[in-house]
Amino acid sequence: MGILKVSARSRSAAVAGAIAGVVREHGRAEVQAIGAGAVNQATKAVAIARTYLALDGLDVSSSDLFVDIEVGDEERTAVKFIVEPR
Amino acid sequence: MGILKVSARSRSAAVAGAIAGVVREHGRAEVQAIGAGAVNQATKAVAIARTYLALDGLDVSSSDLFVDIEVGDEERTAVKFIVEPR
């Protein structure tokens, strides 16, 4: 289903819509962010997506974990948010 | 049980230890952050706390929401993380 990659310049509301759509379609969504600004936007997007999905009767929560990923030749640590119903 | 308030200068690992302690004691923890740097530290702390609590057999997730709070005379929007077992 792919991973939603969020940057510091991503719009939270737009990402939230994408998260809600993926959760409705696939039952869960994975969101990935690298860096403080991106993690902030991703967290806000998850909070907004919760309100969207609550309207559908879905109570979602997020399991946050660290993942090491390759960006070009560099290894970076990303925060991954797994958003799914409780 | 009180709310764990996180700032941009909070150490993630220290906050994670506090979250894990509160969840073990009370079954859930509430964490509050205002601003991008604080939200980033709080999110990382929740991710670390998940790994601590997993060692106790607890699989916790976080429900993130916005709350309006008074800081001095100003109204600010904070992100609140409610950390509890799935």
CB-nearest to A61 from B42, B44, B63 is B63
Whether the predicted pLDDT of B26 surpasses 80: yes
Instruction: Compute the C-alpha angle B45/A2/B31, nearest 5°.
Output: 20
ipTM greater than cut 0.90: no
Q: What pLDDT, on a 0 to 100 scale, did the predictor assign at position B1?
A: 67
Average pLDDT over residues B14-41: 96
Average pLDDT over residues A82-86: 94
Q: What pLDDT, on a 0 to 100 scale, did the predictor assign at position A86?
A: 87
pTM metric for this prediction = 0.91
Whether the predicted pLDDT of A2 surpasses 90: no
Contact A39 B43 (CB under 8 A): yes
Q: Which residue of A has its CA nearest to B37?
A: A36
- pLDDT, tens only, A39-61: 999 999 999 999 999 999 999 99
Beginning with the edge strand found earlier in the chain, give each strand of the sheet holding B74-85 in spatial order: A4-6, A29-33, A74-85, A60-71, B60-71, B74-85, B29-33, B4-6
Average pLDDT over residues A25-46: 96
Q: Which residue of A has its CA nearest to B78?
A: A44
